[in-house]
Structure 1
Amino acid sequence: MFDQIFTKVANTVALAAGKPVTFILCVAIVVIWAFSGPIFGFSDTWQLIINTGTTIVTFLMVFLIQNTQNRDSVAIQAKLDELVRVSNGKNAFIGIEHLTEAEVEKFRKQCEEAAKKADEELKSRTAAKKKSKAAPREAARKPPPAKAHA
């Protein structure tokens, strides 16, 4: 129950925080605060208001944004795992996000090597096809052998 409420609040706040109107509102608050400085004599209380406000908002946003990013990452991983599972991909890649950085790097290098090998094979097949198509054309260009007259 608490998780559902927190998720809903976190999603709502994260979506609202990323909107242009939110940025404009925050800029307006800072401008109003700055212009109110002379009214309050640039007092310590005047400075404390903006410092406290921004610190509290920043502190809370860190946790909300981290929660949203964590859920997004898990959802993307689940989708990618499903794509690997139903495709010709290697099932060994499912769940590699739980490995150490060195283990993930090993998988990445294997992927790069496999991609290079596949690229080389494709290039050699393409070259072989071009060569086999060119051979009949070259034979057709040669004049037929001269017949001997008896």
Structure 2
Amino acid sequence: MFEKGFTKIANKVAYAAGLPLTFLGCCVVVLVWAVSGPLFGFSDTWQLVINTGTTIVTFLMVFLIQNTQNRDGAAIQAKLDELIRVSKAKNYFIGIEHLTETEVEEIRKKCEDAAKQHDTRAKAKA
């Protein structure tokens, strides 16, 4: 129950955060804050308002955006795994996202080498 609600909210907030209108709104907030500086004598409290506000928003957005990125990445990985599973591709590619960076790099290098060999053979036949 909580997870579905959180996912729904995270998706909406992440989407809204990427809109040009949201960026414009944030610029207006900063502009209003900057223009109000002389009214408040550029006091410590005046500075604290923007610092606290931006820190809180940034802190919360990191978690929401990371949540949506994690789900997007997992969904894409599942789709790719299914394509590999039902095709003539080698099934040992399924789940490689759980390997270390070095292990993934080794597999990527082997794929690049195989592609280069394929290109060389194709050019020789032509």
Would you say same fold, with TM above 0.5?
yes
Which letter does structure 2 place at the counterpart of 1:83? L
Q: What stretches of structure 1 move > 4 A for 4+ residues in a row?
A: none
Offset at residue 124 of structure 1 (A): 1.4
CA distance in 2, matches of 1:14, 1:68: 7
Are positions 1:73 and 2:73 aligned together? yes
**Counterpart residue number, 1:54:** 54
TM-align CA RMSD = 0.7
**Counterpart residue number, 1:41:** 41
Offset at residue 84 of structure 1 (A): 1.1
CA distance in 2, matches of 1:125, 1:2: 60
Structure with more helix by fraction: 2
**Counterpart residue number, 1:141:** none
CA distance in 1, matches of 2:10, 2:94: 28
SS in 2 for 1:89: coil
Which letter does structure 1 place at the counterpart of 2:56? I
SS in 2 for 1:39: helix
**Counterpart residue number, 2:27:** 27
Higher relative contact order (CA 8 A, sep 6+): 2
Larger radius of gyration, structure 1 or 2? 1
**Counterpart residue number, 1:124:** 124
**Counterpart residue number, 1:82:** 82
CA distance in 2, matches of 1:51, 1:102: 40
Deviations 1:106-148 (A, max 9, x none): 110110111011111111111xxxxxxxxxxxxxxxxxxxxxx
Which letter does structure 1 place at the counterpart of 2:11? N
> How many residues get paired?
126
Q: Normalized against structure 1, the TM-score is what?
A: 0.82
CA distance in 2, matches of 1:111, 1:99: 16
CA distance in 2, matches of 1:31, 1:69: 31
Offset at residue 68 of structure 1 (A): 0.7
Stretches of structure 2 lacking an aligned partner (at least 5 in a row): none
Offset at residue 90 of structure 1 (A): 0.7
CA distance in 2, matches of 1:121, 1:90: 21
CA distance in 2, matches of 1:27, 1:109: 45
CA distance in 2, matches of 1:46, 1:106: 54
Q: Normalized against structure 2, the TM-score is what?
A: 0.97
**Counterpart residue number, 1:139:** none
